[in-house]
Amino acid sequence: MTSEKIPAVVAGYFSAIGEKDPDAWVACFAEQATSYEPGAPTPLQGHAALRQFLTNVLEAFQSIAMTEDHVFLSGNRVAVKFTGRGTGKNGRKVVFEGIDVFEINQAGKIQTMWGYWDPSAMMAQLQG
């Protein structure tokens, strides 16, 4: 995996969220990938767990968009400071920020991802 291709992998990850497409999002990950999400009680392992996690998050949204504010590349790892904006199914607006750190494998898939954001604050905005 060349460092030039890594930003495209990450862009696909964020784009799939905005498209509300769990299948495209999961396709960004290696089959046995691990994701450490702050809203999950244990690390998410594999495609089925990843798909279920994103499906649960997206169920609260009418629309959502993710912006990659800053991308920091170091070898096969990349840290992304992001901003999310969305509208809940109840019409409430939400804005949230965080940092995701990705480790990309030789096949160009996310092998490990660490999320740093506050899902409870995001949900509080949606529920008002």
Q: What does the pLDDT look like over 42-84, one tens digit per residue?
A: 999 999 999 999 999 999 999 999 999 999 999 999 999 999 9
Question: Do 99 and 41 meet the contact criterion of CB atoms below 8 Å apart?
Answer: no
In angstroms, rounded to a whole number, what is the distance separating the alpha carbons of residues 119 and 54? 12
What are the strands of the beta sheet with 77-88, ordered from one edge? 44-45, 29-36, 110-117, 93-104, 77-88, 61-74
Question: Do 54 and 25 meet the contact criterion of CB atoms below 8 Å apart?
Answer: yes
Question: Do 103 and 77 meet the contact criterion of CB atoms below 8 Å apart?
Answer: yes
pLDDT of amino acid 39: 79
Question: Do 99 and 82 meet the contact criterion of CB atoms below 8 Å apart?
Answer: yes
The predicted-structure confidence for 10-45, as pLDDT tens digits, reads as follows: 999 999 999 999 999 999 999 999 999 997 889 999
**Topology of the domain comprising 6-127:** Nuclear Transport Factor 2; Chain: A, (3.10.450)
pLDDT of amino acid 1: 59
pLDDT of amino acid 105: 96
The domain locations on the chain are 6-127
